[in-house]
A = this chain, B = another copy of it.
Amino acid sequence: MDADEQGLRTRLVAAGADLVLSEGQSAVSLREIARRAGVSHGAPRRYFPTHVDLLSAIAREGFADLTARVEQTMRDVDADPRTRLTALARTYLDFAAAHRGMFELMFRHDLLDSGRLRLRETSLPLFAVLADLVAQVRRPTDAPATVLAGALWANLHGIAQLWAWGSLPLATGATDDDALLHAALDAHLGPRPT
């Protein structure tokens, strides 16, 4: 099962993922992906009717990658839910910073709206992991579990984007995002138990 032996569909998605990771979103053209995969510019069309379909498949790969990283993190840290949430948040932020182009692609609204490959639903397993942990640490006076989890996800997502985009470093003058991460966790989940 060498990489060269895989189907063209798989190779196209892999080439696109490589490309967006290394060169950014603007480099992910149909024709460049086809070139990297060693096929003509018309070849992708047999598997992906439009460019958007191919990009959606690449974005799915991104969600799969992020989900896998989170699950690996969940295997690596101990059982305390709060510790696990902190590690999950750290993984999310690190992913966004290290794979900015892919992170951007994953949340392109035109891809999400296109409904190709049910891209929007692809984030649900990830949210489920977060929601499960949130439910374990939720205090009675907190918002309902799904609201609390949604608000926390949004906070992580906002920090990830605004930080990676450079807006938050500029506005806060901070040099790393750790303070923001812990501020968000403390705000939504209560102060970290010592």
Q: Which residues of A contact B (CB under 8 A)?
A: 24-26, 100, 104, 107, 109-110, 112-113, 120-121, 123-124, 127, 131, 141, 143-144, 146-151, 153-159, 161-168, 170-174, 179-180, 182-184, 186-188, 191
Contact = CB atoms under 8 A, between A and B. Distances in A.
Please tell me how many copies of the chain the complex holds.
2
Nearest to A107: B165
A104 B187 CA distance: 27
B150 A174 contact: yes
Contacts of A146: 171-174
Nearest to A157: B158
B164 A147 contact: no
Nearest to A191: B141
Contacts of A121: 170
Q: Which label, helix, strand, loop or mixed, suits the secondary structure of the A interface?
A: helix
Contact of A120 (B143, B155, B167): B167
Given A109-B166, A146-B173, A154-B161, 12 more contacts: A26-B110, A113-B166, A120-B167, A143-B183, A147-B172, A149-B171, A150-B168, A151-B184, A154-B162, A155-B184, A158-B159, A161-B161
Contact of A174 (B147, B163, B180, B187): B147
Contacts of A120: 165-167, 170
Nearest to A162: B154
Contacts of A172: 146-147, 149-150
Given A143-B183, A179-B143, A157 B162 contact: yes
A123 B154 contact: no
